[in-house]
Amino acid sequence: MEELSMKMQSQLQSFKQVQTELQKAISTRQQLDGQLNENDIVKQELDLMPEDGKVYKSVGPVLIKTDLLEAKQNVVKRMDYISNEIKRLDSQIETLEKKQVEHKTVIQKLQQQLAMAGGMK
């Protein structure tokens, strides 16, 4: 009975750890989603600008004039990076969700074993 109880505590602790990691990954993914949307809006605005349009980049408290083509390339690179990070996080979230289901299954079995062991006394 004590061994089952220790296994249960271990599984619950692992389950809570997976939940924490999952929530962190989901939160990070949501932030990246917001950043991707912001960069998409910037890209759309840059695409509307005429070739001789003036673009400024904020560096700290200073605005620095930037080449339009360079600005477009930087935004596209940033969007590619963010998209790749989102894909990586989606994979991580999927793995964590599977682990969570596995832990739930083990915990349920241990609860049944504990209930049966408790009923035998």
Q: What is the pTM of this model?
A: 0.82
Q: Residue for token digits 């005429």?
A: 50
- Cα torsion through 113, 115, 120, 121, rounded to 10: 120
For residues 46 and 72, is the Cβ–Cβ distance under 8 A?
yes
Residue 60 has pLDDT above 70, yes or no: yes
pLDDT tens by residue, 94-105: 999 999 999 999
Please list, in sequence order, all residues whose beta carbon lies within 8 angstroms of the beta carbon of residue 26, skipping any fewer than 6 positions away. Answer: 93
Q: Is 81 exposed, middle or buried (0-12, 13-18, 19+ CB in 10 A)?
A: middle
Model confidence band, residue 116 (pLDDT cutoffs 50, 70, 90) = confident
Quickly count: other Cβ atoms within 10 Å of residue 98's Cβ. 11
Q: CATH fold of 2-120, please? A: Helix Hairpins (1.10.287)
For the chain, which residues make up each domain, given as ranges? 2-120
Taken as a whole, the chain contains a residue count of: 121
Q: With cut-offs at 50, 70 and 90, classify the pLDDT of residue 20.
A: very high
